[in-house]
């Protein structure tokens, strides 16, 4: 299948081509209010002009009390919609479908952030000497779970009202839904834990609730790990079963990725010593899932070359997700369409402290995105250590601004009735 052939999704809508701008955390929320602003609109106009057939936003939080970073965007029942309408219009100005990735971080919340750190069980992030950087989580009770399901549905409904064409429910990378799927983190003894059917229940109920709140032609996607790449974690065999659970629920596209903050597979490394492909990190593991999936699959992770993207399609995937490469070259799809095999390798740091190196790579990617906003060429001369330090300093001010806003604007209450 050609990279630039259109794709009809199960809901009847079309992607103009098979290249997707995958989600990256922009950390560009306008404060106070954790809103999209002019900076992120300008960034997405760049991607809109670049030729991607699908543009997926960085993760948008469904609960204002739980952020992946102090500069993350929030959309909940009391959020003004006009900034999101402008964001959707900017991202869709090139003709691509635009989906909002919606997320709850669960236990992957920094210790310096106010609000809540929730998890299926009282199992904290384990990151060696960096463990104290993360909050100790509280195990969710039934009312917390019910409210979270409702919040995902509310955010999805508001995204549609704002002009987005779909949402992607984030169940990968160690965030809340990924935590429920993981037997390492989910040690519950009730209907939300134990066997895979129970551990997948939260994801399934959220998909059902979202699908019930949005129109038929509004796309609903899911992002899930190919594996957690941790011993005793969620693995590829269980992913195959979850894809079966999602069959018939109105899911239009499943993106396969991998890892978490404890095992940074999206950076090309794992904690269980699994060997990843040099490009398209998860291709060898994920290709067997093509045979069992009833919905189109998208593969992301380390793709920055046209020949690699074409190989992903040849293995049976419907969509190729490109992330970091598009932060450096936003017009990469158009370059590929013109016949160029432009290669944008991901930034790599050979630091001894790999967790610190992962944080620095994220700072590098954010710096590239800031350059796109300013219209600058993708050439960074600032040392990664300085970029990380600057990112850390900016975060400190953002933590204070977020804390002040949250204290003045407590979270709206959500209720829902779950199936029996």
Q: Name the average pLDDT for the chain.
A: 91
Token digits of residue 403:
């804390």
Domain limits, the chain: 7-408
Residue 111 has pLDDT above 90, yes or no: yes
Q: What digits encode the pLDDT tens for the residues 205-225?
A: 999 999 999 999 999 999 999
Q: Which pLDDT tens digit goes with each residue over 86-100?
A: 999 999 999 999 999
pTM above 0.85, yes or no: yes
Query: Residue 267 is encoded by which pair of tokens?
Result: 């950076």
- At 415, the pLDDT band (50, 70, 90 cuts) reads very low
Question: How open is the CA angle 34-157-30, to the nearest 5 degrees?
Answer: 10
Q: How far apart are CA 63 and CA 76, in angstroms?
A: 7
Taking residue 360's Cβ as centre, other Cβ atoms within 10 Å add up to 22
Helix, strand, or coil (residue 288): helix
Average pLDDT over residues 289-299: 96
- Contact of 1 with 7, CB cutoff 8 Å: no
The reported pLDDT for the residue numbered 416 is 45
Report which DSSP code applies to 372. H
Sign for the pseudo-dihedral over CA of 183, 151, 394, 88: positive
Q: Tokens 């299926």, residue?
A: 120
Omega before 56 cis (within 30°)? Answer: no
Helix (H) or strand (E) holding 176: helix 176-181
pLDDT at 274: 54
Exposure class string for 228-249: b at 16+ Cβ within 10 A, else e: bbbeebbbbebbeebbeebeee
Which token pair is 176? Answer: 């809340």
Question: Exposure of 289 by Cβ count < 10 A (0-12 exposed, 13-18 middle, 19+ buried)?
Answer: buried
Q: List the beta bridge partners of residue 55.
A: 21, 98
**Which token pair is 24?**
């990256």
Residues 40 and 289: their CA atoms lie apart, in Å, by 35
Instruction: Judge: domain 7-408, CATH 3.20.20.70.
Output: yes
Report the chain's terminal Cα–Cα distance, integer Å: 43
Q: What is the pLDDT of residues 135-163, one digit of tens each?
A: 999 999 999 999 999 999 999 999 999 99
Cα–Cα distance measured from residue 181 to residue 40, given in angstroms and rounded to the nearest whole number = 32
For 306-317, what is each residue's pLDDT tens digit? 999 999 999 999
């Amino acid at each position: 299948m050609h990279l630039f052939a259109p794709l009809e999704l199960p809901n009847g809508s079309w992607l103009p081509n098979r290249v997707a701008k995958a989600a990256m955390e922009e950390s560009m929320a306008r404060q106070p209010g954790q809103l999209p602003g002019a900076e992120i609109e300008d960034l997405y106009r760049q991607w809109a002009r670049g030729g991607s057939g699908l543009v997926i936003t960085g993760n948008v939080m469904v609960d204002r009390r739980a952020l992946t970073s102090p500069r993350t965007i929030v959309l909940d029942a009391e959020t003004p919609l006009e900034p999101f309408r402008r964001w959707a219009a900017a991202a869709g100005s090139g003709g691509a479908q635009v989906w909002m990735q919606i997320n709850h971080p669960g236990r992957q919340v920094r210790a310096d952030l106010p609000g809540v750190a929730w998890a299926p069980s009282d199992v904290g992030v384990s990151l060696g000497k960096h463990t104290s950087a993360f909050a100790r989580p509280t195990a969710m009770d039934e009312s917390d779970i019910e409210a979270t399901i409702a919040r995902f549905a509310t955010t999805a409904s508001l995204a549609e009202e704002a002009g987005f064409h779909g949402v992607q429910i984030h169940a990968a990378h160690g965030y809340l839904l990924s935590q429920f799927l993981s037997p390492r983190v989910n040690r519950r003894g009730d209907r939300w834990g134990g066997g895979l059917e129970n551990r997948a229940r939260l994801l399934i109920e959220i998909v059902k609730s979202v699908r019930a709140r949005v129109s038929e032609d509004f796309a609903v996607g899911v992002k899930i790990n190919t594996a957690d790449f941790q011993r005793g974690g969620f693995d590829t065999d269980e992913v195959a079963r979850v894809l079966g659970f999602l069959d018939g629920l109105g899911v239009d596209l499943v993106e396969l990725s991998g890892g978490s903050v404890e095992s940074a597979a999206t950076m090309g490394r794992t904690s269980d010593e699994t060997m990843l492909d040099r490009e398209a990190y998860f291709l060898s593991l994920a290709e067997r899932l093509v045979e069992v999936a009833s919905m189109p699959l998208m593969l992301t992770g380390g793709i920055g070359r046209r020949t690699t993207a074409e190989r992903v399609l040849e293995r049976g995937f419907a969509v190729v997700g490109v992330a970091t490469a598009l932060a450096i070259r936003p017009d990469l799809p158009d370059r590929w369409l013109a016949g160029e095999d432009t290669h944008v390798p991901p930034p790599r740091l050979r630091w001894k402290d790999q967790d610190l190196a992962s944080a620095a790579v994220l700072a590098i990617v954010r710096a590239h995105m800031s350059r796109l906003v300013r219209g600058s060429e993708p050439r960074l001369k600032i040392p990664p250590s300085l970029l990380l330090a600057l990112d850390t300093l900016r975060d400190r001010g953002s933590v204070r601004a977020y804390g002040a806003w949250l204290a003045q604007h407590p979270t709206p209450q959500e209720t829902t009735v779950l199936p029996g």
